Amino acid sequence: MAEIAHAERAHALLSASSAHRWLDCTPSARLEETLPDTTSDAAKEGTVAHEIAELKLRRALVEPISTRSFNAQLKKLKDKELFDEEMLQYTDTYVEYIQGVVHAFPSPPYIAVERRVDYSSYAPEGFGTADCIVIGSKQLHINDFKYGKGVQVSAVDNPQMKLYALGALKAYSLLYEIETVHLAIIQPRISGQASEWSISAADLLAWGESIKPKALQAFKGEGEYVVGSHCGFCRAKEICRARVEHLLAAGSRAPMKPPLIGWDEVGEVLKKAEGIVSWYNGLKKLALAEVLKGGNVSGWKAVAGRGSRDYADLDAAFKFLQEKGIDEAVLFNRQPLTPPALEEALGKKQYKELLEKPGHVISRSGAPTLAPADDARPAFSDQVKPEDVFSGPVGS
Ligand code: SF4
């Protein structure tokens, strides 16, 4: 098996994963290119999980790997700094999903794992790596494993997945007749259910044609800066002038008359100010880094944060306290694990058998949270009164 090198995967300027951004804000790709690319721990963790997923998938469906060789390769991955035991379980979910797709075909389909796809006919110099491609019976499946647990990514009309599919169509349409394209995102840390979406090959090709002018603009770095939810992972998100102006314009309606703003205005202000808190905190972090490396951020300085206390030698300190007659119950806080923590400790299967099935766990829905009207979740029913949720008298 070829050396797995997810971390070294090359990225196109018009990468598929940032397509939702450069299709809406065409100059963003060139602007991001001027800023440092900092890889977060979450991204590094995702890389390890992908490497495990690839190894397992190859062994399950593509090439026979002896148990010895498999274990040796897995051990190497387990030795990586960001490896976590739960990766084994989540990568199993991914592999089981792909096995389900493969076994649903009447005869063995073609399978490609970690296949580089070229969609440069639609977006200049565009290429990417599809996690798993399955083709058979005039069907093309593009499967993407996502290890993030922050935001659930939907496969519906997803431009990243559509670009991979366009690349796969280009690579395989001479060999295979393809009528329908199925896109699936498997994000097991958020949901056991994959997000799936299908489109005809003809419609996909038409979409590919439709994005060509925007892709060309993006490649040249031309067009308007457009602020939206796509800014979330943009490298420029803290210091992009368009976004800063947009966020600060949230207060431009003040002063408002009458003195109290109405609910219509509340809705408008909430919408305009969306993202302002995380942007502000991100900008502060960036400014602190600048000051700490000797830069000047007008009107700001770095100061020591709140201190903390720690034991010089925990074992020695506790031994001493016990010798002095301090009871263990005072020294240790014994707490039962929460159901999610216990699920992690026991594994999904044992958790289900020992806790869920006998009815030892009850599920409660979370407290209501405010969401935009177009949020995919159904509106919260009014059967629960606000006073049942927010305990304590207002103003007390
Ligand atoms: S932060 Fe938003 S508006 Fe600014 S370049 Fe990035 S995507 Fe475009």
Domain residue ranges of the chain, discontinuous segments joined by +: 16-220, 238-292
Please report the atom of ligand 1 found closest to the CA of residue 234.
6
- What's the Cα-to-Cα distance from 85 to each of 20, 89, 94, 340, 351, rounded to whole Å? 33, 8, 15, 15, 16
Whether 215 is in the pocket of ligand 1, judged by its Cβ within 6 Å, is: no
d(CA 133, CA 115): 7
Contact yes or no for 141/110 (Cβ under 8 A): no
Question: In this structure, which residue's CA is closest to atom 1 in ligand 1?
Answer: 237
Choose the residue to mutate in 231, 278, 279, 286 for probing ligand 1, maximizing ligand atoms within 8 Å of C-beta.
231
Whether 235 is in the pocket of ligand 1, judged by its Cβ within 6 Å, is: no
Contact yes or no for 180/142 (Cβ under 8 A): no
d(CA 178, CA 109): 12
Task: For Cα atoms 18, 373, 365, give the angle at the middle one, nearest 5 degrees.
Answer: 95
Whether 247 is in the pocket of ligand 1, judged by its Cβ within 6 Å, is: no
Name beta bridge partners: 145.
Answer: 186
Q: Are strands 127-136 and 139-145 parallel, antiparallel or unpaired?
A: antiparallel
Contact yes or no for 86/344 (Cβ under 8 A): yes
Going from the Cα of 75 to the center of ligand 1, the distance in angstroms, rounded, reads 41
CA proximity to 169, closest of 125, 145, 133 = 133
Whether 59 is in the pocket of ligand 1, judged by its Cβ within 6 Å, is: no
Say which range, 86-95, 148-157, 166-175, 253-262, has the weakest mean pLDDT: 253-262
CA proximity to 372, closest of 291, 253, 271, 227 = 271
Whether 204 is in the pocket of ligand 1, judged by its Cβ within 6 Å, is: no
- Among all chains, which residue has been given the structure tokens 């368009």? 242
Please report the atom of ligand 1 found closest to the CA of residue 28.
5
Going from the Cα of 47 to the center of ligand 1, the distance in angstroms, rounded, reads 26
Report whether pLDDT(2) > 50: no
Contact yes or no for 106/201 (Cβ under 8 A): no
Whether 28 is in the pocket of ligand 1, judged by its Cβ within 6 Å, is: yes
Using pLDDT thresholds of 50, 70 and 90, give the confidence band for residue 64. Answer: confident
d(CA 101, CA 143): 10
Going from the Cα of 230 to the center of ligand 1, the distance in angstroms, rounded, reads 8
Task: For Cα atoms 330, 331, 334, give the angle at the middle one, nearest 5 degrees.
Answer: 85
Going from the Cα of 224 to the center of ligand 1, the distance in angstroms, rounded, reads 10
- Among all chains, which residue has been given the structure tokens 């969609």? 119
CA proximity to 253, closest of 241, 264, 269 = 269
pLDDT for 6 equals: 58
Q: What type of residue sits at position 146?
A: K
For residue 325, what are its two tokens? 């007659």
- Judged on CB neighbours under 10 Å (0-12, 13-18, 19+), 134 is buried
Whether 29 is in the pocket of ligand 1, judged by its Cβ within 6 Å, is: no
Going from the Cα of 158 to the center of ligand 1, the distance in angstroms, rounded, reads 19
Using pLDDT thresholds of 50, 70 and 90, give the confidence band for residue 7. Answer: low
Going from the Cα of 239 to the center of ligand 1, the distance in angstroms, rounded, reads 9
Whether 243 is in the pocket of ligand 1, judged by its Cβ within 6 Å, is: yes
User: Other C-beta atoms within 10 Å of 378: how many?
Assistant: 6
pLDDT for 146 equals: 96
Q: Give residues with Cβ within 8 angstroms of 321, minimum separation 6.
A: 331
Going from the Cα of 196 to the center of ligand 1, the distance in angstroms, rounded, reads 28
d(CA 296, CA 301): 8
User: Other C-beta atoms within 10 Å of 377: how many?
Assistant: 7
Average pLDDT score over residue span 210-238: 95
Please report the atom of ligand 1 found closest to the CA of residue 230.
7
CATH architecture of 16-220: Alpha-Beta Complex (3.90)
Average pLDDT score over residue span 296-306: 92
Report whether pLDDT(391) > 60: no
pLDDT for 389 equals: 52
Whether 244 is in the pocket of ligand 1, judged by its Cβ within 6 Å, is: no
pLDDT for 5 equals: 54
* Predicted confidence (pLDDT) per residue in 239-249, tens digit: 999 999 888 87
